[in-house]
Amino acid sequence: MSTETAAPTANAAKASTQAAIKENFRQYGLVVALIVIMLFFQYMTNGILFLPVNLTNLVLQNSYIVVMALGMLLVIVAGHIDLSVGSVAGFIGAVAAVLMVDYGFNPLVAGIVCIAVGGVIGGAQGYFIAYMKIPSFIVTLSGMLVFKGLLLWLLGGRSVGPFPTEFQMLSAGFIPDFIGPLVLVAPKLNDAGNPMPNTGLVLHSTTMVIAVLIVAAMLYFALKSRRDRESHGYDAEPFSLFVIKNLVLAGIILFLMYKFASYRGLPNVLIVMGILIVIFVFVTKRMTFGRRIFAMGGNIKAAALSGIRTERLTFYVFVIMGMLAALAGLIYAARLNQATPKAGAGMELDVIAAVFVGGASAMGGVGEVAGAVIGAFIMGVMNNGMGIMGINIDWQQVIKGLVLLGAVAFDLYNKKKA
């Protein structure tokens, strides 16, 4: 091969690699940002952030935010906003407390009733927005005030609890170890022959098996997707970059699952979150319903002209948001083990911030489930890290506000650049 022929080939390969790196950075930039933020707080907190008990608390503290962020993603992609989710979550928590504590309802029955009530609330707000054409900002602002007032009325200024043990397991329970503990380092025994805490290394075997299965499934589908692209004649990223990217992601998953396994295993609420995330990825990526939401948010007039029933679609989006707000209210109440008059205050700000930080466009039509989830954990890690560092709550609010403003400004800058 001549030098003239080799040089263009090398340049083309280099350009292809650079383009692949840029594309992957756009796709995984949020993951990189989350890792950098976690490493920063790991250093600033002298290693506390990555302690297994703290990582577990991080998941438990942000589970209800992640659940609502999934619904808020659909709302924002559709071109709307929902300011009432915090008040609805607090109100539903109060309804659950009254049903279970005051009237002795079965936790499962009470949970189903509460989620149904949340769907009705979302549907009522969606009706005003979709069919009466009242802006979502006004409708949900009214809802925020209404359900905050109903929360105070229902509880009468008191806290109601505790909940039945079965209900508490929603937010405080962990999956059982069906296989049995894996002892890597036997704990030391005290004079009485009992194991001393923090002296051994015992893993939750079921959690580690689940971790291996998740990584295996991730690698399988990544390889399948790459082969499908190649079989259809599309360009695939360089194989070396593909391997490095997937090995890094697999390492992160195994590391986090190892941390969970070295404490008490996977929290029940993490399983709930995982199921919801899979469902919403499927809805937004594979279902006509999800694609129509993106089309409506991108250009509602064009969507209507193409035959999409935008009013009905908007109504359904708010029904889903109401049901997820109700589920989040149940998770939050189960974590506190009581319903309080101040429950839900400010939740809507963290939820909306999570979605925008996760890359959703303020103009609608753009957003991803993975981005919303990562955005929620970015906000959660910041809350957790700043709390451990002892930063005052006032400065925490300032920093979170600046992060949100920066995320939206970055989105608008990219749109103008494009």
Q: Is residue 275 in a domain?
A: yes
Closest CA to 79 of 285, 303, 258: 303
**Cα–Cα distance list, 44 to 36, 260, 304 (Å):** 12, 22, 52
Q: pLDDT tens, 298-320?
A: 898 999 888 899 999 999 999 99
Sign of the CA dihedral with 78 first, then 83, 86, and 88 last: negative
Q: pLDDT tens, 66-111?
A: 999 999 999 999 999 999 999 999 999 999 999 999 898 999 999 9
Q: pLDDT tens, 114-139?
A: 999 999 999 999 999 999 999 999 99
Q: Is residue 24 in a domain?
A: no
**Same domain? 236 vs 312:** no
189: domain range?
175-266
Structure confidence at residue 139 (pLDDT): 96
**Same domain? 161 vs 179:** no
Give the domain CATH number at 328: 1.10.3470
> Which of the listed residues 266, 288, 318 is the one where a domain comes to its end?
266
Q: Is residue 147 in a domain?
A: yes
pLDDT category at 393 given cuts 50, 70, 90 is confident
Q: Please list the residues that pair with 182 across neighbouring strands.
A: 203
Count of the separate structural domains present in the chain: 2
Cα of 249 vs its chain's centroid, Å: 18
CB atoms inside a 10 Å sphere around CB 355:
29
Q: Is residue 413 in a domain?
A: yes
Mean pLDDT, rounded, for 150-156: 92
Q: Residue 203 phi/psi, 5° resolution?
A: -100, 150
